[in-house]
Amino acid sequence: MTLTNNFPSCLRSLLLSLVLAAAPVRAYAAEAVVPDWAIPMGHFYTQTNGSGGASDLGFAVVDDEAARFLTEFRQFGGLPALGYPVSQRFQHGGLTAQAFQKGILLWDDVAQSAHLMNLFDELARSGADSFLETHRFIPPSEPWHEDTGQPWHVVVANHLALLDDYPEIARAYFAERQHGRDPIVHNGLPMGLRDYGSVVVMRAQRRAFQLWKVETPWAGAGEVVVVNGGDLAKELNLVPTAAQEPTAAPVPPFEIGDAEQGNILFRDTGCMLCHGLKAEGGIGPALAEDTVEFGAFLAAVRRPDGTMPAYGADIITDQGIRDILAYVQSLGQDDEP
Ligand code: HEC
């Protein structure tokens, strides 16, 4: 069954409640619905929907004909580097764009890859500099007259010199190298730097870095934090308001698995060798009782933490694991009086 974007939400929640009803209540009581989950060709995130976990609306990151944002999101370092998505796709200067907490990806149709928007340059163009400095401690860019007529390597050297007195910021700026990524491509050129007393802020074209000199709830003294520039872009309407609204997921967090198919897979991929034909347990633990949450089940199969062999997507798909979970759950039901 394919559930599309247009799938009526009443039916969706009905399906969801059916799935939930099929699972032992005990396990769900402790753990709320998963905050993010796999969807066809992508992944769906509710973490940034602004509801603090109270709604299942969110933002999908997908690969499709228009753009491969899921692939590029991972390429750019995924969650640790870009944070969660904070917008739907939108059009920006003729390109397809999507905002994440720490940057905005722009899809380049010709290169068939994405790059990060020079979002602080764009915010400057939209007249946001004084707001940024007064309310968000983001310094304006230097005028950079010395760049005029210079070759690129001189321009780069001019801008990198901003980091000379701040080794902690330089380390954070160049950290991308450890992951094989070009810091200039990732952050843009350093453009401005200012010491605000408790925090020193360096503004690059694509990202801004804060060096905290005092202990704060979000950073220790001496720690460098990358500013959530994507959130600033949202606040300052560089992201169109319509695209800022979270939407319903194309498939619910617990897509209904096919228990019959799951039974076959459970046999054929060898799960039953260790877990028993009816998942009653053997070398591995019994599964029927307490493994009901798809995210945890998926993780246990993809990244087991003991002697169980890991099953990659080349051996069994996410949907296959859903099917096995449905089979395991159907066993749990049979056992009930
Ligand atoms: C070679 C034996 C073996 C095979 C094959 C195997 N498992 Fe396991 N499994 C284990 C063991 C042992 C554990 C306990 C954790 C560990 O040691 O990794 C486990 C743990 C699990 C858990 C976590 C259970 C819990 O409650 O903590 C799940 C879920 C699971 N297996 C599912 C599967 C599925 C699905 C398959 C087939 C795709 C499979 N296993 C194949 C041995 C196996």
Q: Is residue 3 part of a domain?
A: no
Structure tokens at 81: 């580097």
**pLDDT (tens digit per residue) in 55-96:** 889 999 999 999 999 999 999 999 989 999 999 999 999 999
CA of 77 to the centre of ligand 1 (A): 30
Q: Is 167 in the pocket of ligand 1 (CB under 6 A)?
A: no
Based on the domain organization, do 84 and 149 belong to the same domain? Answer: no
Based on the domain organization, do 20 and 102 belong to the same domain? Answer: yes
Sign of CA dihedral 296, 67, 73, 234: negative
Q: Which of 226, 246, 278 is the last residue of a domain?
A: 226
Q: Is residue 60 part of a domain?
A: yes
Q: Is 269 in the pocket of ligand 1 (CB under 6 A)?
A: yes
Based on the domain organization, do 106 and 48 belong to the same domain? Answer: yes
Q: Which of 268, 280, 279 is nearest to 327 (CA)?
A: 279
Q: Is residue 4 part of a domain?
A: no
**Ligand 1 atom nearest to 270, measured from its CA:** 5
Q: Is 288 in the pocket of ligand 1 (CB under 6 A)?
A: no
**pLDDT (tens digit per residue) in 176-230:** 898 888 999 999 999 999 999 999 999 999 999 999 999 999 899 999 999 999 9
Domain span at residue 216 reads 139-226
- pTM of this structure: 0.64
Write the CA distances from 332 to 3, 290, 291, 293, 335, integer angstroms. 26, 9, 10, 14, 5
- Cα separation, 173 vs 209, in Å, equals 8
**Ligand 1 atom nearest to 321, measured from its CA:** 35
Q: Is residue 232 part of a domain?
A: no
CATH number of 285's domain: 1.10.760.10
Q: Residue 179 has what pLDDT?
A: 86
